[in-house]
Amino acid sequence: MQYKVLAYYVFTEIKDPVAEVKRQKEILESLDGKARIYISEEGVNAQLSLPAVNTEAYITWLNEDPIYKEAEVKLHDWPEHAFAKLTVKVRKELVAVDRKIDLSKRGEYLSPQQWKEKLDHKDNETILIDVRNNYESDVGHFEGAILPDLETFRGFPEYAKHLAKTVDTKKTKVMMYCTGGIRCELYSALLKDEGFDTVYQLKGGVIQYGLKEGKEHWKGKLFVFDDRMVVPISPDNQEIISKCKFCGNESDTYYNCANMDCNELFLSCSACVEEKKGCCSDNCLSIGRVRAFVNREKPKPFRKLTKDEKLSISST
């Protein structure tokens, strides 16, 4: 069976987020969908996977609802579900920045074609910023992009303040991008609050760019927040720019540390992770509760163990 991985977001008033959670669950359960969807009073942020034969029915459901009229759905093929379960939750914020943001200030959209054209003719007064976390940009980014050392979404507001002190906010033009576009909606408004006059955001993010324009100007792969973890942005995108943390050889495969008290996300080649039994360090291997490691060609993110599984590991 073939599957489709879908991603979209929409900023719109949701009067009853709890009721919308129920509606999303009902349609997705009927279509054998699995997902990670967050719903708040300000909108919906959705990533999900469906059997390919059921995708059209879900998109039709979206198109028939005024709530989702602005949603731009991005689709990828995948041989299995990209999510382990169906999760639809109410969230206070769609992106965790811990502050209210005026979306009327958000940056100007650039289509993938316009983005490529601006990169083709980028001038010295334009800076290109990757607003994703460091573990995302490590495996792939646009050529020449500034890569802030951010560990969480909450780190960008402080970075925006720092950037405003290091460049001329009136002359500097900013091009910013993220995975699917939603972070730029908020982060571009933050830059406007810091005094930047000209801020552009890549509409649909890197996902849409890859679908429309391919790999030009892009280095490496794309990190995604589902079971796929790292994917090419287009069929011909096979470049690896990241390295195994142990031996330094090329690798864009992420693992979660098998030590249950660590769980760090780290890059490793197959040989080294086998030697370390799935742990990110010798210390993690020798101390603490370590999950059994099975080396797979395409590892998936760590799944929380059941209480009995944790007790079993602790007693060994």
Tens digits of per-residue pLDDT, 177-212?
999 999 999 999 999 999 999 999 999 999 999 999
User: Two tokens at 41?
Assistant: 């009073």
Residue 68 lies in a domain: yes
**Together in a domain, 13 and 115:** no
Residue 96 lies in a domain: no
Residue 152 lies in a domain: yes
pTM of the entire predicted model: 0.92
pLDDT at 303: 59
Structural domain including 215 reads: 103-220
3-class state of residue 87 by DSSP: strand
Which residue, 183, 175, 243, is CA-closest to 207?
Answer: 183
Q: Measured between alpha carbons, how far is 77 from 296 in angstroms, rounded to an integer?
A: 21
**Together in a domain, 200 and 114:** yes
Give CA 281 to chain center in angstroms. 26
Residue 40 lies in a domain: yes
Residue 49's CATH number: 3.30.70.100
Residue 107 lies in a domain: yes
3-class state of residue 92 by DSSP: coil
Which residue, 74, 84, 34, is CA-closest to 54?
Answer: 34
Q: Measured between alpha carbons, how far is 229 from 232 in angstroms, rounded to an integer?
A: 10
| Ramachandran class of 146: left when φ > 0, alpha when ψ lies in -120 to 50, beta otherwise | beta
pLDDT at 312: 47
**Together in a domain, 119 and 211:** yes
**Together in a domain, 112 and 214:** yes
Domains contained in the chain, number: 3
| Structure confidence at residue 309 as a pLDDT band (50, 70, 90) | very low
- Rounded average pLDDT over 34-49: 97
Residue 228 lies in a domain: no
**Together in a domain, 138 and 213:** yes
pLDDT at 188: 97
Residue 244 lies in a domain: no
Residue 260 has pLDDT above 70, yes or no: yes
Task: Choose, from 178, 244, 269, 284, the residue flagged as catalytic.
Answer: 178
Annotation marks residue 279 as catalytic: no
Quick one: 5 exposed, middle or buried, by C-beta within 10 A (0-12, 13-18, 19+)?
Answer: buried
- Rounded average pLDDT over 65-74: 95
- Rounded average pLDDT over 145-164: 93
**Together in a domain, 128 and 73:** no
Residue 98 lies in a domain: no
| Structure confidence at residue 297 as a pLDDT band (50, 70, 90) | confident
**Together in a domain, 216 and 145:** yes
